[in-house]
Amino acid sequence: MKITFLIHNVYGIGGTIRTTLNLAAELADRHEVTVVSMLRHRSYPRFAVDPRVTVVPLVDLRADAADASDPQLHQPAEVFPTAEKRYKQYSRLTDRRAREYLRSCDADVIIGTRPGVNVYLARFAPPRALRIAQEHLTHDTHTKKLRAQLAGQYRDLDAVVTTTEADAAVYRTRMRLPGVRILAIPNSVPDPGPLPADGGARVIAAAGRLVRAKRFDLLIEAFTDIAAKHPDWSLRIYGAGADKDRLQGLIEEQGLGDRAALMGAVSPIEDEFAKASIVASASDAESFGMTLVEAMRCGKPVVATDCPLGPAEIINDGVDGRLVPMGDRQALAVALCDLIADEPARHRLGEAARAAAGRFDPAPVAHAYEELFGDLAATRSARAWQRRKARWRGRAGRALRHLRR
Q: Indicate the helix (H) or strand (E) that contains 167.
A: helix 165-174
Beta bridge partners of 57: 37
Q: Which residue has the higher pLDDT, 46 or 304?
A: 304
In sign, the C-alpha dihedral spanning 189, 191, 359, 377 is positive
Q: Give the span between the Cα atoms of 179 and 165, in whole angstroms.
A: 19
User: Region 214-222: what's the mean pLDDT?
Assistant: 97
pTM: 0.89
User: Do the two domains 2-188+364-394 and 203-359 of this chain adopt the same fold?
Assistant: yes
Q: 298 vs 135, 192, 301, CA distance in Å?
A: 26, 7, 9
What is the pLDDT averaged over residues 11-16?
Answer: 88
Side chain identity at residue 183, one-letter code: L
User: What is the domain partition of the chain in residue ranges?
Assistant: 2-188+364-394, 203-359
Q: Which of 285-294, 342-351, 381-390 has the lowest mean pLDDT?
A: 381-390
Q: What is the pLDDT of residues 256-309, one digit of tens each?
A: 988 999 999 988 899 999 999 999 999 998 888 899 999 999 999 999 999 988
CA separation for the pair 243, 303 (Å, rounded): 22
**In the predicted model, what is the mean pLDDT of residues 199-211?**
91
Q: Find the helix packing angle between 216-229 and 244-253, rounded to 10°.
A: 20
Specify whether the CB–CB gap between 38 and 55 falls below 8 A: no
CATH says 203-359 is which class?
Answer: alpha beta
pLDDT at position 286 is 86
Residues with Cβ within 8 Å of residue 371, at least 6 apart in sequence:
none
Class of domain 2-188+364-394: alpha beta
Alpha-carbon distance of 20 to 113, in angstroms, equals 8
**pLDDT at position 167 over 80:** yes
- Predicted confidence at residue 313, as pLDDT, reads 92
pLDDT band at 392 (very low <50, low <70, confident <90, very high): confident
pLDDT of 30 higher than 80: yes
What is the phi-psi region of residue 234: left when phi exceeds 0, alpha when psi lies from -120 to 50, beta otherwise? beta
Chain centre to alpha carbon of residue 221: 27
In sequence order, which residues have a C-beta less than 8 Å from that of residue 280 and are 6 or more positions away?
Answer: 204, 205, 206, 219, 302, 303, 304, 332, 336
In angstroms, the Cα distances linking 368 to 20, 98, 162, 177, 186 are 14, 27, 13, 21, 9
Cα 37 from chain centroid? 16
